[in-house]
């Protein structure tokens, strides 16, 4: 594929690749910002700029709301957060893909990997129903089956717990020893490490900490770098095992 780095003939691709969603596959910050600000408006709180919201994303709806409230020095108890979460989810579900789009190179890379038999899944701290809705709305479901989309509410644990990734691999019938995690944050790198698999981070995601400071096996600046990077980090990881 012309948009991906050329692999040597002998290169071995992973059996399975697990992706984070927000900030990795999809630039969802515009719609998350809209939903957060619509929710804050119900409390007569001022909107938060998208550039700030980007660094609040990654640990689920409740944590996003907590961070939004912290920005206004407006703490809220657990019951209040539960009620506010429902407001957020209702709004976001109606606007999940108004402005969200796959990052450049994502669709071509997923198509390339899928055509070569690589199993593809999503492990996200976003609620599962919203993750499935977003993936379907952006037509990424042609590469990622619904059963392989595990959200922050799918299990009793979530990233950075490695069991979240392991369960996603199991849902695909994948081989954990030949799996790579692709994400954008400390939650992704820590979950991959906990699961015992190599991690590739994207440099363009939502983490407030630069990806290269999170000690992944590799960092990519564009999705067309992913196929060759997958092979390289998996070979290196298996050689150390």
- Ligand-binding annotation for 161, yes or no, is no
Q: How far is it, in rounded angstroms, from Cα 56 to Cα 20?
A: 15
**Catalytic, out of 20, 27, 31, 188:** 20
| Token duo for residue 45 | 């709180």
More confident residue, 59 or 16: 16
Q: What are the structure tokens assigned to 204, written together? A: 């363009």
pLDDT at 201: 98
Does the annotation list 184 as a binding residue?
Answer: yes
Helices (H), the chain: 29-41, 50-53, 61-70, 78-94, 106-115, 128-137, 162-172, 186-195, 226-240
| Domain ranges within the chain, ordered by starting residue | 16-28+100-240, 29-94
Provide mean pLDDT across the span 30-59. Answer: 94
Structure confidence at residue 9 (pLDDT)? 42
| CA 106/CA 48 separation, integer angstroms | 28
Class of 29-94 in CATH: mainly alpha
Query: Same CATH topology for 16-28+100-240 and 29-94?
Result: no
Report the share of the chain in percent with pLDDT over 90.
86
Rounded to whole angstroms, how far apart are CA atoms 241 and 201? 21
Assess whether pLDDT exceeds 70 at residue 5.
Answer: no
> Regarding the domain delimited by 16-28+100-240, which CATH topology (the fold level of the hierarchy) does it fall under?
Rossmann fold (3.40.50)
- Among 24-38, 59-73, 82-96, the range scoring the smallest mean pLDDT is 59-73
- Please indicate if the annotation marks 22 as binding a ligand: yes
Specify the range with the lowest mean pLDDT, choosing from 74-83, 112-121, 166-175, 210-219: 74-83
Residue 188 bears catalytic tag: no
pLDDT in tens, 85-94: 999 999 999 9
Residue 6: left (phi > 0), alpha (psi -120 to 50), or beta? beta
């Amino acid at each position: 594929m012309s948009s991906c780095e050329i692999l040597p003939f002998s290169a071995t691709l992973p059996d399975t690749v697990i992706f984070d969603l927000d900030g990795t596959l999809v630039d969802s910050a515009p719609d998350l910002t809209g939903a957060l600000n619509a929710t804050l408006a119900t409390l007569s709180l001022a909107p938060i700029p998208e550039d700030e919201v980007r660094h609040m994303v990654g640990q689920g709806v409740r944590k996003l709301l907590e961070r939004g409230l912290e920005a206004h020095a407006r703490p809220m108890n657990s019951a209040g957060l539960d009620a506010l979460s429902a407001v957020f989810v209702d709004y976001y579900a109606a606007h999940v893909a108004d402005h969200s789009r796959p990052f450049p190179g994502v669709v071509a890379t997923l198509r390339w990997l899928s055509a070569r038999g690589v199993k593809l899944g999503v492990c996200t701290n976003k609620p599962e129903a919203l993750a499935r809705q977003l993936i379907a709305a952006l037509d990424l479901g042609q590469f990622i089956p619904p059963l392989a989309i595990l959200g922050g509410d799918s299990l009793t644990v979530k990233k950075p717990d490695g069991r979240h990734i392991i369960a996603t691999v199991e849902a695909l019938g994948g081989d954990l020893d030949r799996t790579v995690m692709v994400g954008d944050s400390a939650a992704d790198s820590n979950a991959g490490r906990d699961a015992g698999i190599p991690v590739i981070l994207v440099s363009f995601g939502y983490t407030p900490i630069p990806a290269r400071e999170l000690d992944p096996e590799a960092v990519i600046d564009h999705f067309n770098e992913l196929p060759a990077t997958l092979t390289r980090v998996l070979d290196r990881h298996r050689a150390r095992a």
